A and B are shown apart, each in its own frame.
Chain A
Amino acid sequence: MAQQMQAVLAGFGGQGTLFAGKVIAYAGLIEDRHVSWFPSYGPEMRGGTANCSVTVSDEPIGSPLVTEPDVVIAMNQPSYDKFVEEARAGAVVVFDSDLVTPEDVRTDVEKVGIPAARIAQEAKMDKLANIVLLGKLWDKTRFCERATLDAAICKCVPSTKPQLIEMNERAIEMGIDA
């Protein structure tokens, strides 16, 4: 497990990037690490995307704004284009391969594309492409214990909707297997 992980999760509003970021942050909290989650807010803050910065660290966190991410989840083309540029050398960039065509020249980052929206749709879980991508990110980085990820889902889904917890956990598995 890395000493510190700085993530950017980005997409269009409504794709659930802020929620997925919150799951990462809660996973860090459950493992008693320092965490911060910081959303873009306001109109058109960064290239028309809704995004959040998440840091999980063994040390107190300085700026919660991630400017050189070592992991990226990109759910649309503008988000991919912007954040693949900002990513640190060696970063993992996970994206929806149906929605994003990598046209960048970076050769020093690991690019992992899966058809997350299609996978979610076929499983009748249209809204959970974000969590499918999160599963893939976990598979590539192991940023927390596997069981912690499910526990984090439980913290983020309202307790009034238990059926959603099970669906989110399945989406994680589908992402890992994709």
Chain B
Amino acid sequence: MSEKVLMKGNEALAEAAMRAGCRYFFGYPITPQTELAAYMSKHLPKHGGTYLQAESEVSAINMVYGAAACGVRTMTSSSSPGVSLKTEGISYLAGADLPAVIINVQRGGPGLGSIQPSQSDYWQATRAMGHGDFFLPVFAPSTVQEMADLVYEAFDVADRYRTPVVILADGMLGQMMEPVVMPEERALEDLPAKPWATDGHRGARPHNVVNSLFLDAQQLYEKNVERFERYEQIARDEVRVEEYLTDDADIVVVAFGAAARIARSAVNDARAKGIKVGLIRPITLWPYPSEAIRACDAKAYLVVEMNMGQMVEDVRLAVNGQAPVEFFGRAGGVIPRPDEVLACIEELARKEVVSHG
């Protein structure tokens, strides 16, 4: 077991990725994820790996595509505007069934936006990481420890299902330091074999082709159907969610990532005032923990996000009109305060549908 150390979230992502066996990192500088690339540039060469600063985000994601095709664990990281540029390559990764990890340390948008923490890319991550019919697993850490644990796991999920995986963090989680215990270093020889990789056939097998082009409509349709069968399996087996004080809760707050930290403080404060409130924190944003949200059977839901209201739509889909779903958000890099969230909880509690504990 490693020692508990203080680390920035960005550095924890980098270190844990290396420990997961990632030896190929391609990136382009952007605030607030820069420490991640800097850490990689310093440490990857010492591990026999390759850090390469690409000429653009577009190029970086296509380098990830090339390295993934060759069968190695590979990663890129960026922040919101840069991730938009990567979406072309992410669609190709999905279309060619290539495993890779993409990190988004979000900032406020749209456009150049701000450099302050935000969750404004929820829709992009869960719905539109490029053109075409596809999903990809999206992990949303809310502590520095979880940054390390989830990126480590993301490489396994990517390999298991042959899919790109996104870690959706934000400037707060990337910049803050917290105590973290690093996962064990994975031996490269223990990583899953990839018989489909373009690693040179040496005359021992037919040539491997990594490709997302299928000009025959029926063939492409069947490819998509096969991929969606994998998505069903992911939805069945890979949902991760944390529930906090939901057992007797009349009101359930739903929040992810940094917003969930703030929501949790507000839930504690509301409990101290006798309000029966709990918190559901989706850790996977796709697949979404709809079942857990529905199963709470709360009298009212409050969704807290650092955006203008994106995940709230998934909560409404999960609840399906069975209870009111309210929203509280701060956007553009403004961080919501626990007392603001508490005020929303109290307001909901005052409404007649909710009985006090």
Interfacial residues, chain A to chain B (CB-CB below 8 A): 22, 25-26, 29, 34-39, 41-42, 45, 59-65, 67, 155
Contacts and interface: CB of A to CB of B under 8 A. Distances in A.
A41 B171 contact: yes
Interface of B: 4-6, 31-32, 115-116, 171-172, 175-179, 258, 261-266, 268, 335, 337-338
**B32, B265, B266 — most chain A CB neighbours (10 Å):** B265
Contact of A41 (B32, B262, B335, B337): B32
Given A29-B6, A42-B116, A36 B262 contact: no
B172 A42 contact: no
Given A35-B179, A37-B6, A37-B176, A63 B265 contact: yes
B6 A22 contact: yes
B261 A61 contact: yes
Contacts of A45: 116
Contact of B262 (A26, A38, A42, A62): A62
Contact of A64 (B116, B172, B179, B338): B172
Given A22-B177, A26-B6, A36-B176, A63 B31 contact: no
A61 B172 CA distance: 13
A41 B115 contact: yes
B338 A63 contact: yes
Contacts of A25: 6, 177
A63 B32 contact: no
A40 to B, nearest CB: 9
Given A29-B6, A42-B116, A62 B264 contact: yes
B337 to A, nearest CB: 6
Contacts of B178: 35-37, 61, 64
A38 B175 contact: yes
A3 B135 CA distance: 44
Given A39-B175, A63-B172, 12 more contacts: A34-B179, A35-B6, A35-B178, A37-B177, A38-B175, A38-B177, A41-B32, A41-B115, A64-B172, A64-B176, A65-B172, A65-B335
**A22, A25, A26, A63 — most chain B CB neighbours (10 Å):** A63
A115 B115 CA distance: 35
Given A37-B6, A42-B116, A63 B177 contact: no
A37 B177 CA distance: 5
A39 B34 CA distance: 14
Contacts of A34: 179
A63 B261 contact: yes
5 contacts: A36-B178, A37-B177, A42-B31, A63-B265, A63-B337
A34 B177 CA distance: 11
Nearest to B341: A62
B98 to A, nearest CB: 33
A25 B7 CA distance: 11
A166 to B, nearest CB: 22
A41 B173 CA distance: 13
A26 B31 CA distance: 26
B146 to A, nearest CB: 12
Nearest to B259: A63
B6 A67 contact: no
Contacts of B264: 60, 62
Contact of A62 (B5, B6, B261): B261
A68 to B, nearest CB: 9
Contacts of B172: 38, 63-65
Contacts of A36: 176-178
Contacts of A67: 337
A84 to B, nearest CB: 20
Contacts of A60: 264
A62 B258 CA distance: 8
A62 B4 CA distance: 20
